[in-house]
Structure 1
Amino acid sequence: MKETPLTQVHQNLGARMMEFAGYNMPVSYTSINEEHLAVRNDVGLFDVSHMGQFFIEGPEALQLLQKVSSNDASKLVVGQAQYAFFPNDKGGIVDDFITYRIEENKYMLVVNAANIQKDYDWIKQANDYNAQLTDLSDDYALLAIQGPKATEVLSKVTNTQVDQIPFYYFAIGDVCDIEDIIISATGYTGSGGYELYLKNKDVVKIWDALIKEGQEQNIKPCGLGARDTLRLEMGYCLYGHEINDQTSPIEAGLSWITKTDKTEDFYSKKVFIDQKENGVDKKLVGFKVHDKRIPREGYEIVDIDENVVGVVTSGTMSPSLNIPIGMGYVPKSMSKRGQDIGIKTRKKILHATITKLPFVKIKPT
């Protein structure tokens, strides 16, 4: 297994480790619930250095990006980030990612750890432009400091006015007197905060400083378990679960980042235009379970007559709501809020109701 520069730190903290996307990663340090609620109420610190970082630069960097991205990267200004996905040529999704416009003709793309090589190969085969593609995933570490008190903690160790960075924008500044760190007002938790992109050699120093300076704000190191429950409460898609090579972004509720009106052609554009105009047969929904059992990925979704109509893509016991929640695909005709469905387990059918996403409303800080 690969390791991040913080692996020894995690082990010293007593983290429960497991393999994820080929990396030895912390699942939790105390409990998933405790870490989850720390992010919702105070502040948590995640090591997500397994994520991939590509750079596209050159005179035709934007043209290449427009060909492979579902979103309209021409709208980005320097210092802004944008969520998107790579469409394949069959109406599915290669991966989802975030684009950062670093300079006029230089972009950073942050991709999922499990798809680094796959994504790189996909962009490379599309590169018929005067643009250079570089994979620097092994050179960069990534920390996510998330929660309503993240600004308080981060402000102690940087001269950058992080409270002035708008959502989905970033600044390049210093942290712990280390320069040229990308400080991004982004995250995967829904509770606000920042992501820090920095060189591997500096990450232990900054992790230790954030943990030390955040004691007054009750900062807690958090693992991938809480990262998953936090994103699920927000209804965020996870690659390999809600979205994959066969999933339509229109079915997955990602029409808002599928910019079929941009002038440039991109993969599967015609497919998505047709789906937007004529609709799709199924839809990703969130549901609450009226039971104490958790709806596991792969469980069948049934209608009131117990006919199989869909499948669960993610499920958990919500730490914020203290009830089981999940997401899955159902026919569009059954996707309305308040619709009763069943989740079929080995021994029984759990009663559930489709609900509006996100499951949890977060007050802005």
Structure 2
Amino acid sequence: MIPFTKMQGLGNDFVVIGTRDLTAIDAGRELLRHWKDRYSRFARAVCDRRFGIGADGLIVMVDFRDQPELREMFAYPDVSQSDVGWIYLNGDGSKSDMCGNGLRCAALWARNHFAVYDTRFTIATARGKSEIIYKSANEITINLGEPVLDAKSVPVKTKAKQFVNAPLNFSDLKATCVSMGNPHCVIFDAPPDAKLLGPSDSDDPAARFPSNYASYAPQIQSLDIFPEGVNVEFALIESESRVRLYVWERGCGATLACATGAAATVVAGVLEKKLARKVTVNLLGGSLDVEWSEKDNCVRLTGPANETFSGNFELSSMLDDVMTRGQREAICS
């Protein structure tokens, strides 16, 4: 049995497991040895809300102080300078270099399960080491690094170097595209329909979306200009330091909160001269404080994280959904 922790940041929920528990059993060691071939289907199985545990994403944590041999598996920038590392996977099995809500959960998990009690520490990520400032479970600050504005690197197809307040060629909408380790398409002040898809107090984030946003988002994600898909943000400015945000995530659909989306929105707002560099972003799941520093060009984000429950799952049964018959026989032999 593999222990897991269910966590959430503003309603964005995750299953968190540790590599130490995986390496304690044969099936777990086999999974890690063949990680590149199996991670996607494994994440989908774990995150399935009907047949798995259920989550928006899967987080795998490693304590390099305890398992230094796993540094090679991660192969992240600056991995040698971090005591703790993570792998983040979307619920649909796709990779993402960053997830802000997930990273805050990872920071809290490291404190509770790895005994990382320093108020400042770093977590190795695919974007490099991220500095964590821990004050309490309700106030965790993470450094998301510098935003990527180069259009080819976001990526978004355009002849321009950057995609800033540019036409989408869809419903007369304009957008700014930013990567925070994952691609974002930020649209300001598109008038929302008064009609929602469902009750305003629903736990389903899609039900709380204006109906036109819910219609636009999947169509925007399917545009040819986004070769790797895109997260879509609809931002309604309340003041230069406050914005209301609806996020339709790549791989998840409507979500209660997306921290990298909040960060991308502040960056886009500064580029379009609509927002200050320090902004409170109100999402369906709660609020995040975001700052894009002029000093080092990094985006820092502060918000809560919470452990909701824990349990155990039978890894061999979960692997039944991610392996061929031949692979299962190899593990059992």
**Under a length normalisation based on structure 2, what TM-score does the superposition of the two structures give?**
0.29
